[in-house]
Amino acid sequence: MTPLRRRLREDMQMRNLSPNTQRAYLRAVAAFALHYKKSPDRLSMEDVRAYLVHLVNQRHVAPSTFNQVRCALRFFYRTILGRPWALDRIVCQKEPKRLPVVLSPEEVKQLFAAARRLKTRAILMTLYAAGLRLAELVALKVSDIDSRRMAIRVCQGKGRKDRYVMLSPTLLGVLRAYWKAYRPGDWLFPGADPHQPLAPKTVYCICLAAARRARLGKRVSPHTLRHSFATHLLEAGTDIRTIQALLGHRSLRTTALYTYVSLAKVVATTSPLDLLDAPAPVEGQRAP
Selecting among 51, 128, 178, 258, the annotated active-site residue is 258
Look up 94 and say whether it is catalytic: no
User: Are residues 125 and 225 located together in one domain of the fold?
Assistant: yes
Look up 258 and say whether it is catalytic: yes
Whether pTM exceeds 0.85: no
Selecting among 121, 227, 232, 249, the annotated active-site residue is 249
Residue 141 lies in a domain: yes
Selecting among 35, 78, 83, 223, the annotated active-site residue is 223
Strands 145-146 and 161-166: unpaired
Q: Tell me, what's the pLDDT at 261?
A: 74
Q: Tell me, what's the pLDDT at 284?
A: 58
Look up 35 and say whether it is catalytic: no
Residue 65 lies in a domain: yes
Residue 155 lies in a domain: yes
Residue 271 lies in a domain: no
Total domains in the chain come to: 2
User: Are residues 111 and 52 located together in one domain of the fold?
Assistant: no
Residue 174 lies in a domain: yes
User: Are residues 67 and 13 located together in one domain of the fold?
Assistant: yes
Question: CA 123, CA 112: separation in Å to the nearest integer?
Answer: 10
pLDDT along the chain (288 residues), means of 10: 89 88 94 94 91 94 93 92 78 80 94 94 96 94 94 82 92 96 94 92 94 92 94 89 90 81 73 73 59
DSSP conformation letters of the chain: --HHHHHHHHHHHHTT--HHHHHHHHHHHHHHHHHHTS-GGG--HHHHHHHHHHHHHTS---HHHHHHHHHHHHHIIIIIS--S-TTTTSPPPPPP--PPP---HHHHHHHHHT--SHHHHHHHHHHHHHT--HHHHHT-BGGGEETTTTEEEEEEETTTEEEEEE--HHHHHHHHHHHHHH---SBSSB-SSTTSBPPHHHHHHHHHHHHHHHT--S---HHHHHHHHHHHHHHTT--HHHHHHHHT-S-HHHHTTHHHH--HHHHHSPPGGGGSPPPPPPTTPPP-
User: Are residues 49 and 145 located together in one domain of the fold?
Assistant: no
Specify burial of residue 93 (Cβ count, 10 A radius: 0-12, 13-18, 19+).
middle
197: number of Cβ within 10 Å: 19
User: Are residues 123 and 73 located together in one domain of the fold?
Assistant: no
Look up 149 and say whether it is catalytic: no
User: Are residues 166 and 218 located together in one domain of the fold?
Assistant: yes
Domain that holds residue 213: 105-266
First-residue to last-residue Cα distance in the chain:
76
Q: Tell me, what's the pLDDT at 166?
A: 94
Look up 74 and say whether it is catalytic: no
User: Are residues 58 and 186 located together in one domain of the fold?
Assistant: no
Q: Tell me, what's the pLDDT at 280?
A: 61
User: Are residues 109 and 76 located together in one domain of the fold?
Assistant: no
Amino acid at 59: R
Beta bridge partners of 161: 157
Whole-angstrom CA distances from 181 to 1, 117, 177 are: 45, 11, 6
Q: What CATH number does the domain containing 14 carry?
A: 1.10.150.130
Q: Tell me, what's the pLDDT at 117?
A: 94
Look up 25 and say whether it is catalytic: no
Residue 170 lies in a domain: yes
Helices 169-182 and 118-130 pack at an angle, to 10 degrees, of: 150
Q: Tell me, what's the pLDDT at 283?
A: 63
User: Are residues 131 and 172 located together in one domain of the fold?
Assistant: yes
Selecting among 35, 153, 158, 213, the annotated active-site residue is 158
User: Are residues 134 and 262 located together in one domain of the fold?
Assistant: yes
Selecting among 133, 178, 227, 232, the annotated active-site residue is 133
Residue 208 lies in a domain: yes
Residue 9 lies in a domain: yes
Selecting among 70, 226, 227, 232, the annotated active-site residue is 226
User: Are residues 256 and 114 located together in one domain of the fold?
Assistant: yes
